[in-house]
Amino acid sequence: MSQTTFPSLRNDAQVAKDSGSIEIPAALESAIRCIPRSGLVQMSFDLHDASEEDYVKFYNALAKIGLLHWVKGNIGKLELPHSAVIGDFTGISVEDVRDRVRTSVVQILEAIGLKGFMFVAVGENGTWGSQEVS
């Protein structure tokens, strides 16, 4: 993971030093990290050399773990663009959710005998919107 530093922003250590913040005891910090958090997962993918039947199997397997090719909105069910799925997951952090989803998807691909690429994004307090352009 690359990190970009913006000159106008100070790092967390500098902010903590300047603000006179208190240090959180390690035991409490560890307990805070164990609080389950909800994350909205959006995944897009490309399957290599896959048939329509392979896509159906893959979408069905993803649905079993909570990644759906549609969302329920104010006006009913909305199908997502091809090769996109979405779902709500709980974990100890967004990184935990991301890693567990990726691991599960790799296991599904291997079980079905498919190869491909996936992009997994997880956000706390996520929201979504759609717009059709005609």
Domains, the chain, ordered by start:
36-123 (3.30.70)
Question: Where does 6-133 have alpha helices with state H?
Answer: 12-19, 26-33, 52-64, 94-112
**Residue ranges of the chain with pLDDT lower than 70?**
1-37, 126
**pLDDT tens-place string over residues 64-103:** 999 999 888 777 788 899 999 999 888 888 888 999 999 9
- pLDDT value of position 14: 40
Terminal-to-terminal C-alpha distance of the chain? 38
